[in-house]
C-alpha cells in the first residue's frame, strides 16, 4: 500500500507541537492550579531569599522541573524557562507516540497525530509538571527500547541503566509506568525470556537501589485509597481536557469509537507485541487508586497514557488520501482544543495579573492565608486560585501554608517554627472556605471531619497568620468573620488583615 510522504508526516507532527504549545506563549501565566507554587519553588531553588523557606536537597523521586527549570533560569528569565519546560513536555507527548509507531512498524501514519491530542490531559491542566514531563520522556524511552530490541550493545545497556535512573528521579510514577510498559512488551515473546528478564532487572538495579536506600520518608507515604465508583467519571475525563474542569468528553468518545470501528472492520490492527501493554494499561486505567504513596490523583495518571499508546500501536489499512484526511482532522481538532484552552487561560491570566499588580496589598514578610468564598464562587472552579497567593512568596517574601513543602516529595522546607502552620500532606493541600473560619478560629475541630483531616494546621489560625486573601465569584458575598478586617478590595478577591483574638494570649 502506498504511504503518506514521511516528510509530510514529520511536518504534521511539528505543526501539532506548535499548535498544542501555542497557549503557553499566549498568556503570561497558564491557569494550571499548581503553576504559582511551582514558580515560587523554582525561584527559591534558583537563589531567591526567603525568611520562611529554605532549600533542602534530598533524593526525592520528583525532581524533573526542580532541576531543569532553575538551571535554565540561570541563562533566561524564570517564567520563560518555565514556559520552555512546559513546551518540551508537549513536544515529548507528540514525539513519543510517533517514535513508538516508527519503532513498531518502520513508518508513521496518522495515529501519532491523533495521539498528540492526549497531551492536553488532566495532569497537564492541573500543572503536575514532573509527571507530565517524565511520562512524555518515558514514551520516548519506550520507543528506543523497542527500536533496539535484539541488537542492544553494551553501550545501549549502560545508556538504559542511566536513563532509567534519571527517569526515576524525574518522577516515581512515570518511571513505574514506563517500566510496566517495557515489561509487558517483553512478555509478548518467549524467546530467551529468562535472559531478557535478568537483563532488564540488572538495568533497573540503580533505580531500585535509589528507591530502597535513598528515598526520603514521606509524611503520609502509607496512604492508599481506591474510591473506584466515585472516581469513574474522573478517569474518563482525565484523558483530554481543554481547560480546568473542562473535559473534552465528546472528543474522547469519538476517538474510542474510531478505534473500535477500525478494529471491528479490520481497517486497523494492534501490533502483536503491544497487545499485553494495552491490556494492562486498560486495567490500570480502570483500577488505579485515587491515593497512593502520599500522592493524590493517581487515578488520573494512566488514561491519557493509554490513549497515546493505543494510537501509537495501531496500523491502519486505509488509502493514503484517507490517512492524510485523518491527519488533517487531528490537526484541526488540536487547533480547536488549543484555541479553547488559550481562551480559558486568558481569563485567569488577567486575574493573576491583577493580583500581581496589587501585590503591595500584601505586607512584606506576611503570613498569608488563602480563603475561598464558596457560595460566591458557585459552580465556578476554585482550584486555579488555590496557589495564587504563592506568588507573594516571590514578590513580598510572604509565607503561605500551601507551598509545596511535603516531606519526601519536595525539596523546599518550611523554616522553624512555621512547620506547625503549614500543610504537611497532599490531603491538606486545599484552602478553607470562609464559612469554616469561625470554627477553626475557636478550635471547634470536632464540628467537621475535614477540620481534623484537612485543616489541622489552621487551628487558632488568627493567632498565626497576618493576612487573608479571600477569593470570590460573581455571586453574593458571604458574611465576613469578625477577625477579618478589610485592607483592599478588587474585582475577584479581597485582602483582609487578621486580628488576633483573646485566644492568642
pLDDT tens profile 273-290: 999 999 999 999 999 999
Kindly report the number of other CB atoms within 10 A of residue 26's CB atom: 15
**pLDDT (0 to 100) of residue 218:** 77
pLDDT band, residue 2 (cuts 50/70/90): very low
For residue 189, the SS3 value is: coil
Average pLDDT over residues 329-353: 98
pLDDT surpasses 80 at 223: no
Contact 149, 42 (CB under 8 A): no
pLDDT tens profile 19-42: 999 999 999 999 999 999 999 999
Closest CA to 187 of 269, 251, 280: 280
Query: How far, rounded to the nearest angstrom, does the alpha carbon of residue 102 sit from its chain's CA centroid?
Result: 27
pLDDT surpasses 70 at 220: no
pLDDT surpasses 90 at 295: no
Query: How far, rounded to the nearest angstrom, does the alpha carbon of residue 197 sit from its chain's CA centroid?
Result: 31
pLDDT surpasses 60 at 483: yes
Average pLDDT over residues 488-493: 98
Rg (CA), the chain: 24
Exposed e or buried b per residue across 213-252, where buried means at least 16 C-beta atoms within 10 angstroms of its C-beta: eebeebbbbebeeeeeeebeebbbbbbbbbbbeebbeebb
**pLDDT (0 to 100) of residue 359:** 98
**pLDDT (0 to 100) of residue 443:** 95
pLDDT band, residue 1 (cuts 50/70/90): very low
Residue found under cell 495579573: 353
pLDDT tens profile 66-91: 999 999 999 999 999 999 999 999 99
**pLDDT (0 to 100) of residue 410:** 96
Average pLDDT over the chain reads 95
Average pLDDT over residues 244-267: 97
pLDDT tens profile 124-144: 999 999 999 999 999 999 999
DSSP state letters, 123-136: HHHHT-HHHHHHHH
pLDDT tens profile 417-460: 999 999 999 999 999 999 999 999 999 999 999 899 999 999 99
pLDDT tens profile 389-427: 999 999 999 999 999 999 999 999 999 999 999 999 999
pLDDT band, residue 3 (cuts 50/70/90): low
Amino acid at each position: 500500500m502506498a504511504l503518506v510522504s514521511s516528510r509530510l508526516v514529520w511536518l504534521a507532527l511539528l505543526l501539532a507541537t506548535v499548535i498544542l504549545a501555542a497557549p503557553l506563549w499566549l498568556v503570561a501565566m497558564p491557569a494550571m492550579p499548581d503553576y504559582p507554587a511551582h514558580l515560587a519553588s523554582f525561584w527559591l531553588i534558583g537563589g531567591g531569599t526567603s525568611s520562611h523557606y529554605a532549600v533542602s536537597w534530598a533524593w526525592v523521586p520528583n525532581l524533573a522541573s526542580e532541576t531543569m527549570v532553575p538551571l535554565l533560569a540561570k541563562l533566561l528569565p524564570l517564567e520563560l524557562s518555565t514556559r520552555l519546560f512546559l513546551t518540551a513536555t508537549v513536544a515529548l507527548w507528540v514525539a513519543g507516540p510517533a517514535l513508538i509507531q516508527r519503532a513498531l512498524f518502520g513508518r508513521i501514519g496518522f495515529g501519532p497525530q491523533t495521539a498528540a491530542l492526549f497531551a492536553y490531559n488532566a495532569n497537564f491542566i492541573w500543572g503536575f509538571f514532573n509527571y507530565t514531563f517524565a511520562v512524555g520522556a518515558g514514551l520516548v524511552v519506550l520507543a528506543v527500547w523497542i527500536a533496539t530490541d535484539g541488537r542492544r550493545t553494551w553501550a545501549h545497556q549502560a545508556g538504559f541503566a542511566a536513563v532509567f535512573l534519571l527517569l526515576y528521579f524525574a518522577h516515581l510514577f512515570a518511571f513505574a509506568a514506563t517500566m510496566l510498559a517495557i515489561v509487558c512488551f517483553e512478555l509478548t515473546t518467549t524467546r530467551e525470556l529468562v535472559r531478557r528478564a535478568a537483563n532488564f532487572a540488572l538495568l533497573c538495579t540503580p533505580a531500585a537501589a535509589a528507591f530502597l536506600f535513598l528515598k526520603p520518608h514521606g509524611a503520609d507515604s502509607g496512604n492508599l485509597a481506591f474510591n473506584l465508583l466515585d472516581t469513574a467519571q474522573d478517569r474518563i475525563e482525565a484523558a483530554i481536557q481543554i481547560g480546568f474542569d473542562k473535559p473534552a468528553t465528546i472528543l474522547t468518545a469519538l476517538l474510542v469509537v474510531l478505534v473500535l470501528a477500525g478494529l471491528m472492520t479490520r481497517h486497523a490492527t494492534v501490533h502483536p507485541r503491544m497487545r499485553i501493554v494495552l491490556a494492562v494499561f486498560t486495567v490500570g486505567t480502570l483500577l488505579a487508586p485515587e491515593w497512593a504513596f502520599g500522592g493524590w490523583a493517581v487515578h488520573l495518571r494512566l488514561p491519557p497514557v493509554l490513549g497515546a499508546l493505543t494510537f501509537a500501536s495501531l496500523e491502519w489499512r486505509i488509502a493514503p488520501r484517507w490517512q492524510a484526511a485523518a491527519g488533517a482532522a487531528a490537526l484541526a481538532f488540536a487547533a480547536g482544543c488549543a484555541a479553547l484552552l488559550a481562551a480559558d487561560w486568558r481569563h485567569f491570566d488577567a486575574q493573576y495579573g491583577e493580583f500581581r499588580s496589587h501585590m503591595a496589598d500584601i505586607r512584606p514578610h506576611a503570613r498569608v492565608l488563602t480563603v475561598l468564598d464558596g457560595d460566591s464562587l458557585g459552580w465556578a472552579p476554585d482550584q486555579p486560585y488555590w496557589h495564587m497567593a504563592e506568588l507573594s512568596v516571590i514578590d513580598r517574601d510572604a509565607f503561605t501554608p500551601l507551598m509545596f513543602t511535603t516531606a519526601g516529595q519536595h525539596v523546599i522546607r518550611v523554616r522553624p517554627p512555621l512547620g506547625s502552620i503549614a500543610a504537611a500532606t497532599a490531603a491538606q493541600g486545599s484552602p478553607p472556605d470562609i464559612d469554616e473560619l469561625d470554627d477553626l478560629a475557636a478550635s471547634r475541630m470536632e464540628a467537621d471531619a475535614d477540620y481534623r483531616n484537612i485543616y489541622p494546621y489552621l487551628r487558632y489560625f488568627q493567632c498565626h497568620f497576618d493576612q487573608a486573601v479571600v477569593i470570590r465569584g460573581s455571586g453574593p458575598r458571604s458574611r465576613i468573620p469578625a477577625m477579618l478586617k478589610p485592607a483592599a478590595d478588587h474585582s475577584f478577591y479581597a485582602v483582609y488583615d487578621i486580628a488576633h483574638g483573646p485566644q492568642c494570649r
